[in-house]
Amino acid sequence: MSLSSAPAAQAAPAAPARTAQHRRYLMCRPEHFTVSYRINPWMEPAKPTDTAKALAQWQALYDTYLALGHEVELIDPVPGLPDMVYTANGGFIIDGRALGVRFRVDERRGEERPFMDWFAAHGFDVVEPVSVQEGEGDFLLVGDTILAGMGFRSTGDSHAEIARVFDREVVSLRLVDPRFYHLDTAISVLDPVEGPGGVEKANIAYLPSAFDDHSRRILEERYPDAILVDDADGAVFGLNSASDGYNVFISPRATGFEAQLRERGYNPVLVDLSELLLGGGGIKCCTLELRGKR
């Protein structure tokens, strides 16, 4: 066969064009960060922590958000509440309405009032929670749908409560691996915009092994084009990430996930929060999205 008659190599499909969208976040400086108790498998009180290093890594994330045009509000850290840095657990906000949290563990209950007071002081309509739930740690907004986690922290009753508060469809997902005790450690929302007819198009990534069989089937049906992340990237909190629809802020150790994102047209932005991982949190844990009122 001559070269001129040889079949042409099939070109790989082009990655979709992605658009960065403005975000407004709430963060908290880890001035009192330490690990003095154990409430998740990542925490080892006998292992020393470096507060200065945690501050420097946190500052790098803060500066990165600002450099890419996002707004960051700050809540004052409270002495004796070392986990306040994980602001995603402080509430859940849509359209200016803020649902407060009720932590399952005693060690974090002191955070509940400071977060609700901050929301009220900054113009949000605050709803006092009834059921045990841990905010955006277990509630993720995808389009008009709220994905809701349970199994370790938030209760199933909280899913009905959040559906009433926000008048949204809520999809319950059960976590089964204690290392991934919050939903935001096992799912990353890459682009919250739904496709034509409300069909979600490749806008989440998730760790299949973190969920029970029923939840995996739900995810497979609703998000057939989702990025499936392997256990190695999940174990370094690769999915505990934030995204503006184009830039995806991830751990530099999640190398496989980084490559997957590039293939899909996203821009991975690598930020190391390894010191804060000693407390069981990463980029998303330190980032609460503020949607609505100022």
Beta bridge partners, 150, equal 174
CA atoms within 13 A on the CB side of 107: 12
For the cut 80, the answer to whether the pLDDT of residue 179 exceeds it is yes
- pTM for the full predicted model: 0.91
| Confidence (pLDDT) at 294 | 77
Per-residue confidence band for 40, with pLDDT thresholds at 50, 70 and 90:
confident
- From the candidates 28, 70, 182, 286, give the one annotated as an active-site residue: 182
Beta strand spans in 21-66 (E): 24-27
For the cut 50, the answer to whether the pLDDT of residue 138 exceeds it is yes
Rounded to 5°, the CA angle 218-223-224 comes to 100
Per-residue confidence band for 8, with pLDDT thresholds at 50, 70 and 90:
very low
Average pLDDT over residues 202-217: 94
| Confidence (pLDDT) at 43 | 86
Burial 100-134 (b: 16+ CB within 10 A, else e): bbbbbeebbeebbebbbebbeeeebebbebeebbb
Mean of pLDDT over the chain: 92
| Confidence (pLDDT) at 17 | 85
| Confidence (pLDDT) at 16 | 79
182 annotated active-site: yes
| Confidence (pLDDT) at 4 | 40
Per cent of the chain over pLDDT 90 is 86
Residues 6+ apart with CB under 8 A from 228: 205, 206, 207, 208
Contact 149, 183 (CB under 8 A): yes
For the cut 90, the answer to whether the pLDDT of residue 241 exceeds it is yes
Per cent of the chain over pLDDT 70 is 92
Average pLDDT over residues 181-202: 73
- From the candidates 28, 159, 285, 286, give the one annotated as an active-site residue: 285
20-289: CATH topology: L-arginine/glycine Amidinotransferase; Chain A (3.75.10)
Higher pLDDT, 36 or 14: 36
Residues 6+ apart with CB under 8 A from 196: none
